[in-house]
Amino acid sequence: MARKGEFQDLTGKRFGRWTAVARQGEYKRFYKGEVCAVPIWLCRCDCGTEKDIRADTLRSGRAKGCSGCAVSCSGQKKHHDSYMSLYRRYASLKNGYRRMRGIPMLESWYISYHVFKEWAISQGYKDGDKIMVKKGAACLSPDTVMVVPNIYTRARIEPPIGLSKVTIHKRIHKLGWSVEKALSTPSRVRKKK
């Protein structure tokens, strides 16, 4: 491995869908008061598109493929769901559980948000519902992940007087009560000492 400041020949190396073809020149920039030269490489995407890309962008993994590759290389269209709550829940499962807890995700879900979305909708997912992982899950799959309906957004109801949302949530999700029982059972009144 070359030390910092030494020339690194990237010819023929792959970075995502890009393959470095030839060095094209240098990009000069200021860094901590000094002028630094960052090599620029002519790269060819798997679909045939050629583009000049900075070496640091290639090595860091930020350059994965050309913009046209979203459809031509992967065969999938961009989903445009990144603002939806289901996509945010998917991203938190994918990133949080895989990276922070070391729990792997089903490969078809990891590769494609669309497969996960189809599964969630088939389980009755509606906007505002929660996606939860069962305790002790060894892998994120349809067997260990469940859709939990949000009773407040589904029924458009407020909790009965005297019951907090926290109490109802604990009754349904931790104690396993039915929604009807959780809403109809009055809360205990604790005596003050």
Give dist(CA 140, CA 177) in Å, integer. 25
Q: What is the pLDDT of residues 94-115, one digit of tens each?
A: 877 766 677 788 888 888 888 8
Q: What is the pLDDT of residues 124-170, one digit of tens each?
A: 888 778 888 887 778 888 888 888 877 655 555 555 667 777 887 78
Of 54-58, 63-67, 173-177, the range with the lowest mean pLDDT is 63-67
Residue 51: pLDDT over 80:
yes
Give dist(CA 59, CA 53) in Å, integer. 10
Give dist(CA 117, CA 131) in Å, integer. 11
Comparing C-alpha atoms, which of 56, 58, 28, 27 is closest to residue 44?
58
Q: What is the pLDDT of residue 192?
A: 65
Domain boundaries defined on the chain: 14-72, 85-149, 155-184
19: left (phi over 0), alpha (psi -120 to 50) or beta: beta
Identify the band that residue 83 occupies on the pLDDT scale cut at 50, 70 and 90. low
